[in-house]
A and B are shown apart, each in its own frame.
Chain A
């Protein structure tokens, strides 16, 4: 379809200043993330990790500076890159309690432009016994696995992850580490807000102590 648009190869952050209300979170932030690379976004609680991810995803407007997405031919239009090229995994997962896991995964895969083969995503996160349960009956870790399955159900290059590992058990953390490595090997990009180091070689971006 629009393969060139979705094929983000570089994420560049230039002189980015972000404020929430009257409070300035960070100023003059610079960073670059290229194809096949992962970056660990660290910082104290309240330093602005989640806000930075939401700025990149286009939900918060920065005070100044720019977020640029590029493919092989040059800069992309930001709206197109966001609506076709990136995933955001946040604390609020957007899953409706009253719908079944299958209905929700199927809907989000389609909304994000997935081609409808969910079996790999379901298998990877061992979701098959849970697919017919209502989301309200899932534990925090199971819900997170369902949210993670969306990353595979609709392939997109840039993953913005907000503490993706937090509710997962040890076995599932190892599984997701494999998934991230495979994504990088296929030319993906990962920017993850974390407190523990990511299980792979990464660049790092520290937002400091916060307030």
Chain B
């Protein structure tokens, strides 16, 4: 347990040491979301119709930004080798890295999400659900993105490869996340979509660490 906490603290420190990584992701998210009304025209009705979907697509892209480096630096400087030699094991290390990444980047992004939704013409009373769905989706983005980051280790232009691998797997998160917000704003029942979103994210949390561990070991050998 001491080992797990020590790694968690190190990952948080490294995430904030990477030249303000979390703030950068929030800036990117807000930037993409602001481009949308410019492209779509200022008609509030048209904008409100596409806003939830567009906001979630932007969230997926913003989460991807810092993910590509999740294992790369540890791989390059030999830390990944040494992480396999700790008693918690590599799968636990991968899970801790993703959780720390979620707290460092996913949580600030989720906090930005209500502001983005309002900027896109969403009603302010959607904000709690927007925050909750963004936070849950972020959990899934980070664990699934971690698989991509591990698979892309050692590849040239790994960042693009990560995007190509994981964006299809982000689909259910975007569909259910935007679906829940959309349902609430049109007065439908939003709970099923939220439940499916949570289920997908938690499944990813449970299974992805083993895939990440296997992919890292493959890159090491």
Contacts and interface: CB of A to CB of B under 8 A. Distances in A.
Interface in A36-88: 54, 57-61, 79, 82-84, 86-88
Interface in A88-130: 88, 90-96, 98-99, 103, 106-108, 110-113
A54 B88 CA distance: 19
Given A59-B220, A60-B221, A94-B82, A107 B10 contact: yes
B17 interface: yes
Interface string B100-134: 00000000000000000000000000000000000
A210 B70 CA distance: 36
Contacts of A82: 84-85
Chain A contact-residue range equals 20 to 34
Interface of A: 54, 57-61, 79, 82-84, 86-88, 90-96, 98-99, 103, 106-108, 110-113
A110 B2 contact: yes
Interface of B: 2-3, 5-7, 9-10, 13-14, 17, 73-74, 76-89, 217, 220-221
Given A94-B74, A107-B7, A57 B221 contact: no
A109 to B, nearest CB: 8
B6 A94 contact: no
Contacts of A91: 78
B79 A84 contact: no
A188 to B, nearest CB: 16
Contact of B3 (A54, A87, A110): A110
Given A83-B89, A94-B74, A106-B6, A59 B13 contact: no
B82 A108 contact: yes
Contacts, number: 83
A59 B220 CA distance: 6
A132 to B, nearest CB: 15
Nearest to A86: B85
26 contacts: A54-B81, A57-B84, A57-B85, A82-B85, A83-B87, A83-B89, A87-B85, A88-B81, A88-B82, A88-B85, A92-B77, A92-B78, A94-B80, A94-B81, A94-B82, A95-B79, A98-B14, A107-B6, A107-B10, A110-B3, A110-B6, A111-B3, A111-B6, A111-B82, A111-B86, A113-B86
Contacts of B217: 59
Contact of B84 (A59, A93, A108, A110): A59
A84 B87 contact: yes
Central interface residue in B3, B7, B83, by most chain A CB within 10 Å: B3
A58 B84 contact: yes
Nearest to B76: A92
B6 A95 contact: no
Contacts of A92: 76-78, 81
Contacts of A93: 77-78
B80 to A, nearest CB: 8
